[in-house]
């Protein structure tokens, strides 16, 4: 387990590493996305402002699209630009370009859209409550479920809610499109996770008007977290259209407020759980989950988020009878999309909170209820997948003893007897399936390429991007270690669809787990072909054989099957496991929770780079802390947030002590890492709040205002007075 | 309006709209693209520069604010003795993830190192409290600055 | 947007005496540029004043401390004079915005912006601070309490400028002080509410008390009814229901994206209680 330095750290600190907005040329026009400021309506007329020279502007509308006005997605239902009907706030109506950024902005701010207002659903809870809003394909998993009630069991029925979450990558979204009229080709450069998605999107919108699309990422990608999975398709498509129409390079970089208003967020969820638990043994006999996501106005990739959410909604528990239902709901809000965890944080929040509520109901210790019900080696998930390892148990036991959970719990309770401020300790466990869900990897058939030059440089070609997670360093390290070749001579090339094969999107923790494993196998293959086992001297002795190229494609394990209709089979070949303890301090005067300490014990298999792995856990924990405490995007009656002044991200002051331990580190497999540290801290924080305050909570975020409301409703008196 | 100032030890004199945002002057007119724009409202610190030695957010300043002043950006600080030491520490602790916020963090932490430099976590948090990072959870950034403070103490 | 850069203080007064309509003074830039970005300021003239150094600095003036309007929060927090006489002010302002914004934002700018959430105003209100209002031909000293007349409305003529803030050196001597800003986080936060207080006790009796709240009315205000009620009472004999009903007449907290009215009301009461009973 090495801790190789990241090759890009130094230029990033010094500001010399280039992000998209750092690319400029004199010819370049600035592009802007003009979008609807209403929720639902039929456009009757667009009034362009009169005091501008229209000849200086390039303007594109749905009617200018030579190809198809549908963004390629798992469900291709979203247009690049609205034609007549707008069905959500923030829906793009026009693409506009001009040489001067300020003129462009002034112009777009004065455009008036005349429309006939239509009814709209914008409130999250209203949307998720009303089954009339259901759309898309429903998922139903039935695992031995019998509706008859069990007299020895305690029945618990609760509804859990989670809010939107904004990715808040520090670099806003952006694309440069450069159209070459002679070659009829389009070059796209941008900040993105999935270059081949963007390629397909530009091919779709441009149709037969162009012959070739090449997509390359900018040198640096300033954070993504899922937010740059599918939205870049739209920006690239419109930038391409503007460049095609103007004949000039066009750069679109979103302003922060535009970015926050129109791009995708984590799906708000309503998760209803019923459980039947044996009063004597504490064993959960039966469980039903009704998992609902607010998809926004279009399905886009929501069905895939739904699938992952449903497949994590039963938690890390062995449940004999389970019925799980997953549905998407439509609202007149921008489509929600990918965000670190992809449906799992919502699912794990609900099940982990519910487990605590069962324990409190039955008077069982919070660790014991988990021990009793834990998925053990040989147990069957509701999907019939058989568990092969007992690592979740090891995570749980390790975190309990390492954090001194029981002693602290007793000490905190003692403290709480004599203080108005309170202390709390919470526990949560989680899991995360690595790679695409179900048959996804089988369909993707990812391919990777390695070349070796005469100058002894090993170059890795993949379509996966480094958006800060350290992918280029870690992938180079995997190849360098497998080839026994110096890391300094092993590099990952900036993803370019003309040079790198399609190794799939940079999502679902698949970059190291799937693509890294492919590269490792390819490196072994290269090793086997180099007879004297010393690459360096072999290149020197056989210059005629270089440059040389090797490729390898993903081969699915034939024994692994998953049924997309019944959701039975192996949804994910490997799961990462984790357990977490969180300590909080509650400030009673202002109803505010402060997280003091987070303890993480994880099985992610082999951490390729220890420091990078820790960085992923720390970053994931803090995003989860924001999710639990301060981050929300919509407030009924007050609409949506517009920027970083409203949307409250954790700052340096809010950071607790974070402790991280990895188990199972000698495993040959590097499993998924990026997402799991986002999955479990939020329920652990909620559980700690319940411990501190002795009240139940069912909804995130636990803002002081929300805590105040809960305390008030259960006291029905002025709480502070009583506490004083 | 003619506006003259010194940036990264070079004298410049430009004909500018005095209300033009200073970040645009630095990035677009002078090409120091290490200064980043993220929130555009002083809430994230990605555009932090040193103005007469003090960290300020250049997205909320105007060209006129630079008149007669000294500006230093991350690009210049990276070449100084303490800047190099700090970069070594960021590198060794693997504190950098996407890096977009980092020139801003670098400027704030450089100022801390120069003006206080005590390896005290609370003080470091305070010095960085105007910079937002979404990737790292800050922990390794604190670690890097503590390390840098220790190293400088040992040098003295 | 017309731009003016006066060559001197007299030139400034000359310029503004000619600008009768709405105009903005550009000092540190931290508020004005947000308002320009949000299109609150579009065409109004801007008068740059940040270079007029005679308006900057914390000065010792006999019994008083005179704080020039252009004094930055950084200079306020690190002023030896304030640390010596009003240490409570320096400590309270540490969590204003963030260090970079403390280096830019000025005391005059914060007061002239007139935001209901301004951090410094409740503090200055309990310190009985005064404002030195300057114009071409006149200088008047007015109490800060009374300067605000409504949401972003001031007792200030078109040809005037807030030149300085005046605080008595003895403003806190013999008093216990209190300040709490409640925000979503500790730095980079706009107050959901804030409470500043000074009190003089004689055993259990409250001899004198001053309270001022931010973000609970259209401008930061002294809680006069509560002060009146509390003055000369014995701490253990207070009728908190009475105080609660007085508070409901004193503050008008709103529900917005940042917080809720009920929460603001209750926390304000909690903080008053904390200060009074502490």
Q: Parallel, antiparallel, or unpaired: how do β-strands A284-296 and A321-330 relate? A: parallel
Query: What per-residue confidence (pLDDT) applies to A148?
Result: 83
Say if residues B96 and B109 touch (Cβ distance below 8 Å): no
Say if residues C70 and C30 touch (Cβ distance below 8 Å): no
Q: Is the pLDDT of residue A721 over 70?
A: no
Query: What per-residue confidence (pLDDT) applies to A639?
Result: 85
DSSP conformation class of A630? T
CA dihedral A456, A462, A463, A468 (to 10 degrees): -80
Query: What per-residue confidence (pLDDT) applies to A187?
Result: 98
Say if residues A313 and A141 touch (Cβ distance below 8 Å): no
Number of neighbouring beta carbons within 10 Å of residue A106: 14
- Burial tier of A401 (Cβ tally within 10 Å: 0-12, 13-18, 19+): exposed
Least Cα distance to C29 among C94, C96, C104 occurs for C104
Show me where the domains of chain A are located.
Answer: 25-119+171-262, 269-436+568-717, 446-553
Say if residues C198 and C164 touch (Cβ distance below 8 Å): no
Distance (Å) from the alpha carbon of C249 to chain A's nearest alpha carbon: 18
Which of A638, A648, A704 lies closest to C256 in CB terms? Answer: A638
Contacts of A650 in chain B (CB under 8 A): 138
Query: Which of helix, strand or coil describes residue C143?
Result: strand
Q: State the Cα–Cα distance between residues A665 and A602, nearest whole angstrom.
A: 10
Distance (Å) from the alpha carbon of B75 to chain A's nearest alpha carbon: 5
Query: Percent helix, strand, coil in chain B (nearest 5)?
Result: 45, 15, 40
CA dihedral C53, C55, C61, C65 (to 10 degrees): -120
Please state the length of chain B.
156
> Taking the domain A269-436+568-717, which CATH number applies?
3.30.365.10
Beta-carbon separation of B55 and C99 below 8 A: yes
Reading the block at residue A196, the tokens are 């081949």
Query: What per-residue confidence (pLDDT) applies to A715?
Result: 58
Q: Is the pLDDT of residue A409 over 80?
A: yes
DSSP conformation class of A5? P
Sheet strand arrangement including A657-662 = A422-433, A575-587, A592-603, A657-662
Q: What is the ipTM of this complex?
A: 0.98
Beta-carbon separation of A14 and B133 below 8 A: no
Task: Name the residue of chain A whose CA is nearest to C34's CA.
Answer: A645
Contacts of B39 in chain A (CB under 8 A): 256, 643-645
Query: Which of helix, strand or coil describes residue A658?
Result: strand
Contacts of B72 in chain A (CB under 8 A): none
Q: In the block, which residue shows the tokens 């305070």?
A: B126
List, in sequence order, every residue forming a beta bridge with C165; answer none if it has no partner. Answer: C67, C131
Residue ranges in A530-594 assigned as alpha helix (H):
535-541
Beta-carbon separation of C104 and B57 below 8 A: yes
Q: Is the pLDDT of residue A26 over 90?
A: no
Distance (Å) from the alpha carbon of A240 to chain B's nearest alpha carbon: 24
Beta-carbon separation of A622 and B138 below 8 A: yes
Q: State the Cα–Cα distance between residues A476 and A471, nearest whole angstrom.
A: 8
Backbone angles phi, psi at A331, to 5 degrees: -135, 170
Percent of chain B at pLDDT > 90 equals 98
- Subunits with 3+ Cβ pairs within 8 Å of C are A, B
* CATH topology identical between A269-436+568-717 and A446-553: yes
Task: Report domain A25-119+171-262's class.
Answer: alpha beta
Q: Kindly state whether C261 is in contact with chain A, defined as any CB-CB distance less than 8 angstroms.
A: no
Residue ranges in B4-138 assigned as alpha helix (H):
22-24, 74-77, 81-92, 102-115, 121-127
Beta-carbon separation of C33 and B108 below 8 A: no
Q: State the Cα–Cα distance between residues B123 and B116, nearest whole angstrom.
A: 9
Q: Is the pLDDT of residue A192 over 90?
A: yes
Beta-carbon separation of C185 and A591 below 8 A: no
- Cα of C232 vs its chain's centroid, Å: 27
Backbone angles phi, psi at C23, to 5 degrees: -150, 165
Q: Is the pLDDT of residue A1 over 80?
A: no
- Cα of A531 vs its chain's centroid, Å: 43
Task: Name the residue of chain C whose CA is nearest to B67's CA.
Answer: C51
Query: What per-residue confidence (pLDDT) applies to A532?
Result: 72
Q: State the Cα–Cα distance between residues A91 and A78, nearest whole angstrom.
A: 10
- Identify the H or E element spanning A202: helix A195-206
What mean pLDDT do residues B113-132 have? 97
Q: Is the pLDDT of residue A719 over 90?
A: no
> Taking the domain A446-553, which CATH number applies?
3.30.365.10
Q: Parallel, antiparallel, or unpaired: how do β-strands A657-662 and A592-603 relate? A: parallel
Q: Is the pLDDT of residue B131 over 90?
A: yes
Query: Percent helix, strand, coil in chain C (nearest 5)?
Result: 35, 25, 40
* pTM (two decimals): 0.97
Say if residues A129 and A290 touch (Cβ distance below 8 Å): no
Which of A590, A635, A654 lies closest to C182 in CB terms? Answer: A590
- Cα of A558 vs its chain's centroid, Å: 29
Beta-carbon separation of B108 and C100 below 8 A: yes
Q: State the Cα–Cα distance between residues A33 and A95, nearest whole angstrom.
A: 5
Give chain A's mean pLDDT.
Answer: 96
Which of C5, C29, C99 lies closest to B130 in CB terms? Answer: C99
The number of C-beta contacts closer than 8 angstroms across B and C is 80
| Structural domains present in chain B | 2-76 (3.10.20.30), 77-155 (1.10.150.120)
Q: What is the pLDDT of residues A138-152, one digit of tens each?
A: 999 999 999 887 889
Q: Is the pLDDT of residue A168 over 60?
A: yes
Q: Is the pLDDT of residue A488 over 90?
A: yes
Percent of chain B at pLDDT > 70 equals 99
Q: Parallel, antiparallel, or unpaired: how do β-strands A458-461 and A447-452 relate? A: antiparallel
Q: What is the pLDDT of residues B76-108, one digit of tens each?
A: 999 999 999 999 999 999 999 999 999 999 999
List, in sequence order, every residue forming a beta bridge with A185; answer none if it has no partner. Answer: A180, A212
Residues of chain C with pLDDT under 70: none
- Subunits with 3+ Cβ pairs within 8 Å of B are A, C
Q: Is the pLDDT of residue A716 over 60?
A: no
Q: What is the pLDDT of residues A569-595, one digit of tens each?
A: 999 999 999 999 999 999 999 999 999
Q: Parallel, antiparallel, or unpaired: how do β-strands A212-217 and A185-190 relate? A: parallel
Query: What per-residue confidence (pLDDT) applies to A149?
Result: 77
């Amino acid at each position: 387990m090495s801790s190789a330095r990241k090759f890009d750290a130094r230029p990033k600190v010094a500001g010399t590493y280039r992000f998209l907005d750092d690319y400029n040329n004199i010819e370049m026009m600035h592009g802007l996305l003009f979008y609807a400021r209403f929720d639902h309506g039929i456009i009757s007329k667009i009034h362009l402002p009169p005091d501008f020279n229209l000849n200086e502007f390039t303007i594109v509308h749905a009617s200018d699209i030579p190809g198809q006005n549908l963004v390629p997605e798992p469900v291709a239902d979203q247009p690049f630009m609205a034609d007549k009907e707008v069905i959500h706030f923030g829906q793009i109506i026009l693409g506009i370009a001009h040489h001067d950024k300020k003129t462009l902005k002034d112009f777009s701010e004065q455009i008036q859209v005349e429309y006939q207002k239509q009814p709209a659903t914008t409130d999250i809870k209203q949307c998720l409550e009303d089954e009339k809003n259901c759309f898309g394909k429903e998922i139903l998993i039935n695992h031995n479920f019998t509706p008859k009630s069990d007299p020895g069991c305690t029945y618990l029925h609760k509804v859990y809610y989670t809010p939107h979450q904004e990715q808040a990558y520090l670099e806003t979204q952006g694309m440069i499109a450069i159209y070459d009229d002679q070659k009829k080709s389009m070059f796209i450069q941008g900040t993105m996770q999935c270059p081949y998605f963007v390629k397909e999107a530009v091919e779709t919108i441009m149709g037969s008007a162009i012959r070739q699309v090449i997509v390359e990422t900018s040198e640096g990608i300033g954070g993504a977290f899922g937010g740059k999975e599918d939205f870049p398709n739209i920006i690239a498509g419109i930038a391409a259209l503007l460049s095609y129409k103007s004949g000039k390079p066009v750069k679109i970089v979103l302003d922060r407020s535009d970015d926050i208003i129109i791009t995708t967020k984590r799906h708000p969820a309503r998760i209803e759980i019923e459980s039947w638990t044996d009063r004597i043994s504490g064993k959960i006999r039966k469980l039903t989950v009704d998992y609902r996501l607010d998809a926004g106005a279009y399905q886009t990739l929501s069905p895939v988020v739904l699938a992952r959410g449903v497949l994590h909604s039963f938690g890390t528990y062995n449940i004999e009878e389970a019925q799980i239902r997953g549905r998407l709901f439509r609202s007149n809000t921008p489509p929600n999309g990918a965000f670190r965890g992809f449906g799992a944080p919502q699912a794990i929040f609900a099940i982990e909170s519910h487990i605590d509520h069962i324990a409190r109901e039955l008077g069982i210790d919070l660790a014991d209820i988990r021990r009793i019900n834990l998925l053990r080696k040989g147990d069957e998930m509701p999907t019939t997948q058989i568990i092969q390892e007992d690592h979740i148990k090891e995570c749980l036991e390790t975190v309990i003893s390492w954090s001194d959970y029981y002693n602290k719990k007793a000490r905190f309770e003692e403290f709480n007897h004599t203080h108005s401020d309170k202390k709390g300790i919470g526990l949560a466990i989680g899991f995360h399936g690595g790679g695409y869900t179900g048959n996804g990897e089988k369909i993707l058939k990812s391919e990777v390429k390695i070349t070796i030059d005469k100058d002894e440089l090993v170059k890795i070609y993949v379509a996966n991007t480094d958006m800060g997670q350290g992918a280029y360093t870690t992938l180079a390290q995997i190849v360098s270690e497998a080839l026994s070749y110096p890391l300094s001579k092993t590099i990952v090339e900036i993803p370019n669809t003309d040079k790198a094969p399609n190794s799939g999107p940079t999502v679902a923790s698949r970059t190291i787990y799937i693509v890294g494993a492919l590269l490792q196998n390819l490196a072994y293959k290269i090793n086997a072909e180099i007879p004297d086992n010393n690459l360096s001297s072999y290149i020197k002795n056989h210059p005629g054989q270089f440059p040389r190229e090797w490729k390898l494609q993903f081969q699915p394990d034939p024994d692994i099957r998953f049924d997309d209709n019944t959701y039975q089979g192996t949804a994910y070949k490997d799961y990462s496991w984790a357990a977490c303890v969180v300590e909080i301090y509650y400030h009673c005067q202002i109803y505010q929770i402060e997280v003091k300490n987070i303890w993480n014990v994880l099985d992610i298999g082999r951490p390729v780079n220890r420091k990078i792995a820790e960085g992923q856990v720390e970053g994931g924990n803090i995003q989860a802390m924001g999710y639990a405490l301060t981050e929300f995007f919509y407030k009924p009656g007050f609409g949506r947030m517009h920027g970083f002044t409203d949307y409250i991200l954790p700052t340096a002051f809010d950071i607790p002590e974070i402790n991280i331990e990895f188990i199972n580190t000698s495993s040959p497999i590097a499993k998924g890492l990026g997402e799991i540290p986002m999955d479990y801290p939020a329920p652990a924080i909620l559980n700690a709040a319940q411990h501190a305050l002795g009240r139940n909570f069912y909804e995130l975020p636990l803002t002081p205002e929300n805590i105040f409301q809960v305390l008030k409703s259960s006291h029905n008196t002025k709480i502070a007075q009583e506490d004083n | 309006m003619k506006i003259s100032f010194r940036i990264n030890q070079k004298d410049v004199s430009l004909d500018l709209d005095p209300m033009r945002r200073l970040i645009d002057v630095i990035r677009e007119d002078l090409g120091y693209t290490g200064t980043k724009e993220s929130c555009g409202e002083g809430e994230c610190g990605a555009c932090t520069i040193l103005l007469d030695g003090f960290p300020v957010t250049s997205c909320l300043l105007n060209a006129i604010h630079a008149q007669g002043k000294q500006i230093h950006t991350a690009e210049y600080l990276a070449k100084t003795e303490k800047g190099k030491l700090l970069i070594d520490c960021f590198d060794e602790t693997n504190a950098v993830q996407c890096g977009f916020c980092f020139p801003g963090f670098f400027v704030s932490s450089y100022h801390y190192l120069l003006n206080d430099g005590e390896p005290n976590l609370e003080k470091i948090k305070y010095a960085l409290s105007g910079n937002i990072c979404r990737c790292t959870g800050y922990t390794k950034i604190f670690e890097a600055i503590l390390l840098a403070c220790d190293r400088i103490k040992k040098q003295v | 947007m017309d731009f003016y850069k006066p060559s001197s203080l007299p030139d400034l007064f000359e310029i503004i005496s000619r600008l009768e309509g709405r105009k903005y003074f550009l000092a540190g830039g931290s508020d004005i540029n947000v308002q320009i970005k949000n299109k609150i300021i579009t065409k109004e003239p801007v008068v740059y004043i940040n270079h007029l150094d005679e308006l900057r600095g914390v000065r010792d003036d006999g019994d008083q401390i005179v704080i020039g309007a252009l004094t930055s929060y950084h200079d306020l927090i690190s002023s030896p004079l304030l640390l010596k006489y009003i240490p409570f002010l320096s400590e309270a302002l540490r969590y204003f915005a963030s260090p970079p914004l403390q280096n830019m934002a000025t005391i005059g700018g914060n007061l002239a912006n007139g935001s209901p959430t301004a951090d410094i105003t409740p503090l200055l209100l309990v310190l009985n601070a005064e404002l030195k209002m300057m114009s071409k031909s006149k200088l008047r000293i007015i109490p800060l309490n009374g300067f605000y007349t409504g949401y972003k409305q001031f007792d200030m003529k078109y040809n005037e400028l807030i030149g300085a803030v005046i605080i008595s050196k003895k403003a806190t001597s013999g008093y216990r002080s209190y300040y709490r800003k409640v925000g979503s986080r500790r730095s980079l936060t706009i107050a959901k509410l804030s409470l500043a207080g000074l009190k003089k006790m004689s055993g259990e009796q409250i001899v004198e008390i001053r309270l001022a709240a931010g973000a609970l009315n259209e401008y930061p205000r002294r809680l006069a009814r509560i002060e009146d009620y509390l003055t000369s009472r014995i701490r253990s004999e207070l009728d908190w229901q009475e105080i609660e009903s007085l508070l409901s007449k004193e503050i008008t907290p709103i529900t917005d994206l940042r917080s809720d009215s009920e929460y603001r009301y209750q926390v304000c009461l909690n903080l008053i209680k904390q200060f009074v009973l502490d």
